[in-house]
Amino acid sequence: MRTALVVPAAGRGDRLGASRPKALVPLAGEPLLVHALRRATASDVVDVVVVVAPLGACDEVRSLLSPVVPDVLVVPGGAERQDSVRAGLRALPADVDVVLVHDAARCLTPPDVFTSVVAAVRAGATGVVPVVPVSDTVKRVADRTVLETLDRSELVAVQTPQGFAADVLRAVHEAAVPGAAATDDAGMLEALGHPVRTVPGDERAFKVTRPLDLLLAQALLSSEAP
Ligand code: C5P
């Protein structure tokens, strides 16, 4: 029985405003994707790695990653994140029983988050998400008018890696409508009534989305340097 890591890395990164796909944007001299995989594989809980690359960049991604993950499988991504994850799942060997899905953009996620997500799935959970508290007040808005203020004590922000029983995740993705825009995989399980458990996430697992996030990542890396 083996644990696989599927890394959707095929996003364009429009909100970052970079001229390259986001996963290939350099951070301290190395692409975000390389940082993400170094931390993921340092957890020692991953046996198989599938990276879903931007269209036309599979060869580049394979050669970038071969020093970090020599046996990496690289497949081309799709139009939406969900399409990319499904392409990654289809590339998995049959003997994988636990799957982690991890955004390349959460490039500074510490190894121990991977360890605790896998432990929770191996302890019997069908789906597991790392979460952190929400610090802002969150409101539902329509037509620039507030409809409702949500109770912050019940809210969490959800990160990756998200962990799943492989057979359930495969089935959920194969049943989904291609091109639909699910923003995470656990949400697809929830929609079909599967329970999803939480484990503590880590502030360093934030997603590099906008230019300010890249500055924060640079600052964190400099503070880690020996
Ligand atoms: O779009 P967002 O920043 O939420 O993307 C989260 C992750 O999904 C990123 O690592 C991105 O590269 C990936 N993605 C993908 N294929 C897409 C869109 C996003 O692999 N079509």
Pocket of ligand 1 (CB under 6 A): 8-11, 22-23, 52, 77-81, 84, 103-105, 207, 209
CB of 8 within 8 A of CB of 51? Answer: no
For a mutational test of ligand 1's pocket, the pick from 103, 206, 207, i.e. the residue with the most ligand atoms closer than 8 A to its C-beta, is 103
CA torsion sign, 75 to 120 to 196 to 137?
Answer: negative
What are the tens digits of pLDDT across the range 134-190? 999 999 999 999 999 999 999 999 999 999 999 999 999 999 876 667 789 999 999
Residue type, 157: A
Listed in sequence order, the residues at least 6 apart from 99 whose beta carbon sits closer than 8 Å to its beta carbon are 3, 4, 5, 6, 89, 92, 163, 164, 166, 169, 170
CB of 217 within 8 A of CB of 108? Answer: yes
Collapsing DSSP to helix, strand or coil, 51 comes out as strand
ipTM: 0.97
2-224 CATH fold? Spore Coat Polysaccharide Biosynthesis Protein SpsA; Chain A (3.90.550)
The residue whose CA has the least distance to atom 19 of ligand 1 is: 11
What are the tens digits of pLDDT across the range 21-80? 999 999 999 999 999 999 999 999 999 999 999 999 999 999 999 999 999 999 999 999
